[in-house]
Amino acid sequence: MDDTEFDRLLLAEAFATIAAEGWSRFSVARAARSAGLSLERARLRFPTRGAVLIRFGRLADAAALAGAPEEGAVRDRLFEMMMRRLDVLQAHRAGVIALLRHLPLAPPLAALLGCASLTSMGWLLEAAGVSARGPLGRLRAKGLLGVWLWTVRAWMGDESRDLSATMAALDTALARAERASRWVPDGSRHGAATAEPPDFPPPPDDSREGAPEDQGPGPAGAAP
């Protein structure tokens, strides 16, 4: 079994546990045992609970970036990639929703996910041909994070098989962002952005305080 398959099996068990019993009762060791996986290998690959979420985010990013469209309007390219990312969340829907509902009770965990997700949005922007570098790039990433949070909120209440309400929310959010600040310039490579991000619910704070067990290996990945 290669590392990717090992990780997928452990993550599936992890989110099944979170769905059934909540984040507070979840442990990497217990998930590994339940999935029949090596505890030693689980310890090496997932030293903390936060590392589970970081790895999950990276797999979601990989799904979004795989075969990323190279042509078309930036808005359309972002739409396709963000829906691919949501498909990964949908595969573990109950566990992801349970985790998200726990976040208001766990500010350090919310901060970790916010920081990681901001990095993810930078990757999506670059894949769509928009620079995420420098102060303006970070502004664009924060704007796209607002779009993502808005869409995830809609996804949490969308029980349709085709996620039609989620797709509508994402399309509306991208259109609103485009109109509000033009930080996703249509069809231009590394185009300019205006000074203000779109008016969406603010992303979690970027600070990383709190209990070590809820902190992963750093902000280099992404999480739900």
| pLDDT mean over 64-91 | 93
65 φ, ψ to 5°?
Answer: -85, -20
pLDDT in tens, 84-99: 999 999 999 999 999 9
| pLDDT at res. 71 | 86
Q: Name the amino acid, one letter, at 9.
A: L
| pLDDT mean over 60-85 | 92
| pLDDT mean over 34-56 | 95
| pLDDT at res. 192 | 37
pLDDT more than 90, % of the chain: 71
* pLDDT tops 90 at residue 120: yes
| pLDDT at res. 38 | 96
Tokens representing residue 3 in the block: 């590392």
Decide if 173 contacts 153 (C-beta within 8 A). Answer: no
Tokens representing residue 62 in the block: 């990989």
Give buried/exposed letters for 185-221 (b at 16+ CB in 10 A, else e): beeeeebebeeebbebeebbeeeeeeeeebbbeebeb
